[in-house]
Structure 1
């Protein structure tokens, strides 16, 4: 027996302002920020005390106490305590993947409503001691007498006390994401000036979005913060050009602090539902989440670490029966300006599309005027797990006012990519009528 799949509605989402790490949110935890984002959704859509079928999401940089962060955030929010929370981590794709997994359940009728959520802070990163010293601490906890506890530290070396700072390097290569992206930029011959130009445009678009009031219902204040503190309305190309390379100090280095996202604290959440649930709660549908795709590549074997989204999007287009040009908006996560430009260049490259994507012809180019039209991660910042939900909420709002169809592409650590398609209600109705 087959069941007809239901449409998955994006009701809308909010986020707290994103802040550079160790600045305005230095004293906040992932739990506090995630709860703030959840309460923002509750307040905006009148969900106080109501049951949501699931809250799914997580954080990339976590403490051991955050073993089920999503559930604890629910219990710290105004949602009914009967709302279950599921913690999920897929690096920078976390909250988009959370939305896709819940969307599958809504489509099949298993649930009626869900909130995808993500939070991250590197201001409150866990500090880890050496394995040897950590074992001593465990033994202290197991010791029964004071003398036994003292004996545990016999032979203690001062070097054991040195904490291991948090690292964002790839375990398989030892290289940071920025170093990997620098290699990609060199392979694809992405010039420094083009990266700076993309960063400049992102800040200008983001600042304009605030000025025109577009961000008003997408942002909820947190800890006295009302605006992203990474955003630079007065940014200039001359200033960007003056910055030194951040990941490769030689003259070949092209990635800088200006054309790369900073370490960022923040949280976001987006509400998904069936059409029936939305109607019962008198909530309008901004857009529909129609397709999703994720995949990984062999970055250890030579594929670019952040190139997997090129493959995810290709597979997504095949399933949807669309071309790369069949979109009114493109939301390509700006982890680094170079990553976006490498992705665009790869889709235009016949050899890459044949060798990696299995295509007889390139996917082609996109209209750059449709790319990240309200700014993206270079301007706002990038709290790893929060970016996906930020993008879904933003794209849903764009589609609700402009119509059409939008494509999301997010690169993640570990050589993975997550992609999705959103479509405006009017566009779907017109297609069905035709």
Structure 2
């Protein structure tokens, strides 16, 4: 086979559409024909090799990017793929923007949660067991401790699992259930703090009539109203959100299914939903706040008129602890819920929510017992009995 045949045979190997398939079928080509065939052949070879290099480069980049995926991204892709088989799921991003902070947050939140359980359970136990604490103030304090335990329990276990990397996805039913419990217990605490302010106002302003005013029947009715009002408010807001259509990927930029973060996923008509929910939040936040301000305004006037220095200290000690708890809870709750969704900062919102869901319930037992002689006396009597039994 001559040079022309070799060129033609090699060219036909690269060009499936070539007319000439064997060298014997071809007439002797001219120099221009051979030059054109060579140029065409080298052009096709260059295109083929370039395509292979691009494919290899793209594959390498893909592998490199896959190696750089964090565990969060892997779980997110896994959960998105699972959505097609197991229905709609919400992916909680949590504190994924601060991966180096997650171990510290896990330890801190676990410590606060254990402190909440131990402190509030001890308060409930003392209020039930010690006869000296069978008074309206400690009755409402017992309910507050119970609300705090339930409130943190509705959030913290899932949050710890999120930080550990175990549970970042929730079904729609699970997300709505958590939202309902979280809003219900938070709303109950809002109303309960207002009732406790009324109780302290009656104790300071009308001490002679306090026993008749704060009867056991009235206290039970007020406590029941707090629970009923909180759960009713939560039910209305949860139903309003659950019946709306959500758009886009179900990525909740929060560590829980909280209302401001979920509102960002609502499709058309978000403004109407926000206005309706804003009205509900005004009722559950601003009305109790007004009651608290009026109550402590009356307490301030009564304390100002007192001539006894001892009476002033006692009144301030009774009201100061409650006012501190009110400022901690209401300050963070108002910041979170009484601002438009488009101005809500998710980064700041996470830490503010962390404060009133984890830190405040852990601090409440300390705040209420730090200057309360009756509670400290009950603790000493309890410890004294334990020591006596050991002997």
TM-score, normalised with respect to structure 1 = 0.22
Q: Which has the higher Rg, Structure 1 or Structure 2?
A: 2
Structure number having the greater strand percentage: 1
Structure number having the greater helix percentage: 2
TM-score, normalised with respect to structure 2 = 0.24
Structure with higher RCO (Cα < 8 A, 6+ apart)? 1
